[in-house]
Amino acid sequence: MTSYLFRRILLLGLTLLGLSIIVFIISRVVPADPARLAAGPDATEEMVQKLRKEFGLDDPLPIQYFNYLGGIFRGDLGRSIRTRRPVIEDLATYYPATLELVLFSLLLASLGGIFIGTLSGVYHGQWVDQLSRLIAVIGVGMPDFWLALMLQMLIGLKWKLLPSGGRLGFQTPPPMGITHFFLLDSLLTGNWGTFVEAFRHILLPAISLSFPAFASLTRLTRAEVLDVLSTDFVKTARAKGLSERVVIWRHMLRNALIPTTTMIGLRFGWMLGGTVMVETVFNWPGLGLYAVQSATFADFNAIMGTTLLVGLNFALANLIVDLLYGVLDPRIRYD
């Protein structure tokens, strides 16, 4: 197990190194001059040159890359030419909001998807199954930004049941920053009012973001449950006289969940890289918008920093999923 972990972490480092090279090359190949853009439309050549020098953009490309790489080992991801702040500060500002949204959405999608998928599989062919299949088809086919707009306009703006955007109301101060997840921090500090406010704010974006994942998890869980239902060990469990609830939730589901766990891990990565539309609609101050603005501004350091962070998350999620296999199925060995 230890050597497996060591190998995976080494591989993770190499993956990130490869990613950094690819993103570095792609971002530099695009014919755009970030210094000219950051200096402003009327800037003189002298002003553009000054910014270019200040941000090391006048160095040869290999030097720029090695300077960047050296910075990473010192915990310095460079400065954003658009915001003029260290990228690490920008990421610290925007990343927690995105991570909180993604984790909460993943929780909704996983709980909902596994629960409905299991019911659908167990009550195969009945109305629960038909309804869940319909929802799943809609969920897979519906673009998240469209759902987000509809939820915002109807529930947020027209009926005013939930806030239409942001993380907290205007006059609600954020909770003390322990994890920078508003839901968790408000709970940890016993600030119930803020918790309710944060919960109400995250619901609509989380529903929008989680719906496609919920749909695919429902479908996958249903298929796996149907598969496992006909296996010998389920028949044996039933023959032993175990209650249906125990058969389903303790024996059958545990085996059906291995592909679902993989899907949850993958979905985490996809969600993290795909929050921009939902963040745009709900004015969620997260990483997705930061990434898009950085890309349109050819803000090299910010693009690199965001990509590496999302890449790291993706790789970590995969590692955690691989380790979870062993928990779900003790027959799986890592050596």
Asked whether position 280 contacts other proteins by CB under 8 A, the answer is yes
CB of 93 to other proteins, least distance (A): 6
Q: What is the DSSP string of 172-193?
A: -PPPP-SSS-HHHHHHHTT-HH
Dihedral sign (CA 235, 241, 246, 250):
negative
Asked whether position 34 contacts other proteins by CB under 8 A, the answer is yes
Say if CB 19 and CB 308 are below 8 A apart: yes
Q: Among residues 44 and 243, whose Cβ is nearest to other proteins?
A: 44
SS3 helix, strand, coil % of the chain, rounded to 5? Answer: 75, 0, 25
Residue from 13, 18, 40, 70 binding other proteins (CB under 8 A) = 40
Residue 51 has, within 13 A of its CA and on its CB side, a CA count of 20
Say if CB 78 and CB 27 are below 8 A apart: no
Residue from 297, 304, 314, 317 binding other proteins (CB under 8 A) = 297
- For the segment 227-246, give every residue that binds other proteins (CB under 8 A): none
- For the segment 187-216, give every residue that binds other proteins (CB under 8 A): 196-197, 199-200, 203
Distance CA 198, CA 184 (A): 10
Say if CB 204 and CB 166 are below 8 A apart: no
CB of 157 to other proteins, least distance (A): 4
For helices 61-73 and 2-29, what crossing angle results, to 10°? 140
Q: Among residues 234 and 303, whose Cβ is nearest to other proteins?
A: 303
Asked whether position 36 contacts other proteins by CB under 8 A, the answer is yes
Residue from 16, 103, 128, 149 binding other proteins (CB under 8 A) = 149
Site residues (vs other proteins, CB under 8 A): 30-34, 36-37, 39-48, 50-51, 82-85, 93-94, 97, 149, 152-153, 157-158, 160-167, 170-171, 196-197, 199-200, 203, 280-281, 283-286, 289-290, 293, 296-298
